[in-house]
Amino acid sequence: SPEQPVPILPPEVLLKVFRYLSPEDLCHCGQVCTSWSHLAKTGSLWKHLYPVHWARGQHCRGPPEDQEQEPDAEWVQSREDEGRAYQEWDEDADIDESEGALEDSPAIGAIQREKKVLNGIIQNLLPAVGPSVRSIVLAYSVALSSKMVRQILSLCPNLTHLDLTQTDITDSAFDSWACLGACQTLEHLDLSGCAKITDLTLKRLSLALGPGVPQASGGRAHGPAQIWVLDPAQLADIEDEWRCWGGACDGRRGLSEPLAPPTPGACCCKRSRRRGLSANAASYWQQYGSVGGALSGLRTVSPSGGEVDFRTKLAEEAEKPRPRRESCRRLRLLSLSGCFEVTDLGLRALSQRGGLPRLEHLNLSGCLFITECGLQELVTACPSLNDQHFYYCDNINGPHADTASGCQNLQCGFRACCRSGE
Ligand code: FES
């Protein structure tokens, strides 16, 4: 009715309606009232983000695989023109920073909008939906900075697809990948034309992809001493279970807090951490029937980073051979086309820690400092590589030379190639 312009619908029905809206309309809906604001920030509505397109009124949705594979030449050209115009405007910013100047130049206006959309996503959307985001396409962004990428990566831990093609980012964009297993879900990483990227990014990527396939037969870890690690994603669950074991205690103490010396007959929270875990694990086992489940967040890794294994109190269970576990390193596509500062050291970093067992597509066109040796080492660690999607400099007589696809940058005016200008 006219008195009631906003229909009162159950949230599940509203959510279905929201699925048909463009990102812009969804943002407008989020400003209607508090409950709509919460609903508009439902993770499933924001799995695939295209800020560069959205800023230009193109409301792409769905996974990147469903979109056009390559942007057309006209689109790329207009992004380059915008970039140039913005650079010139930025240099003269003191003189010409009026609203009028923005209105006069659609290119500058588009980049200002892009910056606004990126900041809005980082500050208002990702803190709520970050863990649900699967893909982010930022290709050809002029407004994107390394700091923005850093913020995005720390807010979106479950990314599978990241496209940073032809952006101005540096190694510092990947600071958050400097720890083990920081991007274990990543399958597609496009850094084509990111000319400031160096070996440091590849070292961080290799570490962040997590441990590789178990080396030992039957999936058991053998050899050198293992390192205990706590899976951060499950730490909260462990703390909850710890509180469960506490029974009558108030359970407000977290695992990270120092514990008081053991007192006979006292509450479990006052025992030493190890004794508390051991004694109470037994009662938990009686109660829930699975110590392994209770300790699912506590794992061991070998120093080589190869095996990740649950450790339980049941030694005989632990000694049984287990089915071989799949590698965490899920990367299927990596493009470093035009990243001319990358060297064999970077390729070596990628081939370590279990290599890239699922990598099918590898583009190293325009990586001017890599050699046959570096390529050979990496290819040996990439058993799934498809030669049709394997590109490197035509001047290198490297692995799969007869079947690989050669350099892709021969005709490309804006990415490094040892034959440009010939
Ligand atoms: Fe050598 Fe392109 S990098 S042919």
338 Cβ below 6 A of ligand 1: no
Ligand 1 centroid to Cα of residue 407, in Å, is: 5
208 Cβ below 6 A of ligand 1: no
Across the beta sheet with 298-301, the strand order is: 227-230, 298-301, 308-310
Please state, in angstroms and rounded to a whole number, the distance separating the CA atoms of residues 156 and 130: 4
Q: Look at 40 and 8; give whichever has higher pLDDT.
A: 40
407 Cβ below 6 A of ligand 1: yes
Among protein residues, the one with the nearest Cα to ligand 1's atom 1 is 393
153 Cβ below 6 A of ligand 1: no
- Residue in 365, 367, 370, 411 to alter for ligand 1 test, most ligand atoms within 8 A of Cβ: 365
Predicted pLDDT at 69? 63
Burial class (CB in 10 A: 0-12, 13-18, 19+), 119: middle
Predicted pLDDT at 87? 72
Q: Which atom of ligand 1 is nearest to the CA of 419?
A: 4
With a pLDDT cut of 70, the percent of the chain lying above it is: 67
pLDDT tens figures, 387-417: 999 999 999 999 999 999 999 999 888 899 9
Q: Look at 121 and 251; give whichever has higher pLDDT.
A: 121
Q: Look at 297 and 90; give whichever has higher pLDDT.
A: 90
Ligand 1 centroid to Cα of residue 406, in Å, is: 8
336 Cβ below 6 A of ligand 1: no
pLDDT tens figures, 62-84: 899 877 667 777 777 777 777 77
412 Cβ below 6 A of ligand 1: no
Predicted pLDDT at 107? 79
The torsion of the CA quartet 312, 317, 320, 323, rounded to 10 degrees, works out to: -60
Looking at the predicted structure, is the pLDDT value of residue 92 above 80?
A: no
Ligand 1 centroid to Cα of residue 306, in Å, is: 35
Predicted pLDDT at 8? 79
Please state, in angstroms and rounded to a whole number, the distance separating the CA atoms of residues 305 and 72: 42
417 Cβ below 6 A of ligand 1: yes
Looking at the predicted structure, is the pLDDT value of residue 347 above 60?
A: yes
Q: DSSP secondary-structure letter at 361?
A: E
Residue 91: pLDDT band by 50, 70, 90 thresholds? Answer: low
366 Cβ below 6 A of ligand 1: yes
The model's pTM: 0.72
Contact yes or no for 380/352 (Cβ under 8 A): no
Q: Which atom of ligand 1 is nearest to the CA of 410?
A: 2
Predicted pLDDT at 335? 98
Predicted pLDDT at 360? 97
- Residue in 397, 410, 415 to alter for ligand 1 test, most ligand atoms within 8 A of Cβ: 410
pLDDT tens figures, 139-152: 999 999 999 999 99
Average pLDDT, stretch 360-383? 96
369 Cβ below 6 A of ligand 1: no
pLDDT tens figures, 363-373: 999 999 999 99
Looking at the predicted structure, is the pLDDT value of residue 138 above 70?
A: yes
pLDDT tens figures, 333-342: 999 999 999 9
363 Cβ below 6 A of ligand 1: no
Residue 220: pLDDT band by 50, 70, 90 thresholds? Answer: very low
Among protein residues, the one with the nearest Cα to ligand 1's atom 2 is 417
Predicted pLDDT at 55? 92
Neighbours of 98 (CB within 10 A): 9
Average pLDDT, stretch 316-337? 75
Q: Look at 46 and 261; give whichever has higher pLDDT.
A: 46
The residue written with tokens 């990439």 in the block is 382
Residues contacting 296, CB < 8 A, separation 6+: 234, 237, 310
Specify the 3-state DSSP secondary structure of 44.
helix
Average pLDDT, stretch 246-270? 38
Residue 316: pLDDT band by 50, 70, 90 thresholds? Answer: low
Predicted pLDDT at 15? 93
Predicted pLDDT at 420? 82
With a pLDDT cut of 90, the percent of the chain lying above it is: 52
- Residue in 364, 407, 411, 420 to alter for ligand 1 test, most ligand atoms within 8 A of Cβ: 407
394 Cβ below 6 A of ligand 1: yes
pLDDT tens figures, 155-208: 999 999 999 999 999 999 999 999 999 999 999 999 999 999 999 999 999 999
pLDDT tens figures, 285-310: 334 333 333 333 344 444 444 444 44
